[in-house]
Copies of this chain bind each other. A is one copy, B any other.
Amino acid sequence: MAENEYPQRMQRKKQVIDKKIASASAERGLLLVNTGIGKGKSSAAFGVLARTLGHGFRAGVVQFVKSRTDTGEEGFFRRQPAVDWHVMGEGFTWETQDKEKDAQAAQAAWRQSRLFLADPTVHLVILDELTYAFKYGWLDLDAVLADLAARPPMQHVIITGRAAPEKLIAAADTATDMGLVKHAFKAGVKAMPGIEF
């Protein structure tokens, strides 16, 4: 591209983008789904949590699988008075090896989630690793979707986890598939504190 074409090209691009921005005028609480097998599903949710706190909003977090309470994100966000953080999992399914116990933990986690989903003062609800509850049959997807649909109209929700069901994607406003291009773990690097947990 010749140098003198650059301003003209950017002016045309600006017209297109300004038009798109003008046509996006609705305001409502969004349902975001972060799925896929790559890194970034939960960390993107926690980045949005930081963003939300920066605007002075309140947030609730429920972790459906994680049982450890020594992660960097939990240690950090527990110090924030505007965040209500609940670690409610029993750990990875291959560690617990007990489907009934896992299902009971997920059902208790959903009861906590419903408290957030009924509270309009909670601006953002993060349901971390919720998708596994559908994969393993711990929760009924239609009942979860009904609770999500009945939440306060300006409340945002982020759901993370691999293999999000099609019906959940259909209900989402924004959905991202975190695709694995490469991962340090596969190259023999152990989970590094601050990066993986």
Q: Contact check: which of B13, B38, B176 meets A94 at CB < 8 Å? A: B13
Establish whether residues A50 and B27, one from each chain, have CB atoms under 8 Å apart when the complex forms.
no
Q: How many copies does the complex hold?
A: 2
A193/B30 contact (C-beta < 8 A), A97-B7, A176-B180 known: no
User: Which B residues are in CB contact (< 8 Å) with A53?
Assistant: 72, 76
A8 to B: closest C-beta gap in Å: 9
CA distance A24 to B23 in the complex (A): 49
Q: Count chain B CB atoms within 10 A of each CB in A33, A52, A53, A55 and give the residue with the most.
A: A55
A154 to B: closest C-beta gap in Å: 9
Establish whether residues A174 and B169, one from each chain, have CB atoms under 8 Å apart when the complex forms.
no
Establish whether residues A14 and B97, one from each chain, have CB atoms under 8 Å apart when the complex forms.
yes
Mask, A44-87, CB within 8 Å of B = 1, is 11111111111101000000000000011111110000000000
CA distance A65 to B177 in the complex (A): 24
Stretch at the interface among A107-115, A140-148, A181-189: A181-189
Mask, A93-129, CB within 8 Å of B = 1, is 1111111000000000000000000000001100000
What band does the interface of chain A fall in when counting residues whose beta carbon is under 8 Å from B? 35 or more
User: Which B residues are in CB contact (< 8 Å) with A76?
Assistant: 50-51, 53-54
Establish whether residues B47 and A43, one from each chain, have CB atoms under 8 Å apart when the complex forms.
yes
A54/B72 contact (C-beta < 8 A), A44-B39, A94-B14, A184-B173 known: yes
CA distance A52 to B182 in the complex (A): 21
Contact of A195 with B by CB under 8 A: yes
User: Which B residues are in CB contact (< 8 Å) with A50?
Assistant: 46-47, 49-50, 72-73, 76-77
User: Which B residues are in CB contact (< 8 Å) with A191?
Assistant: 24
A50 to B: closest C-beta gap in Å: 5
Mask, A158-197, CB within 8 Å of B = 1, is 0000000000010011111111111111011111111101
User: Which B residues are in CB contact (< 8 Å) with A183?
Assistant: 173-174
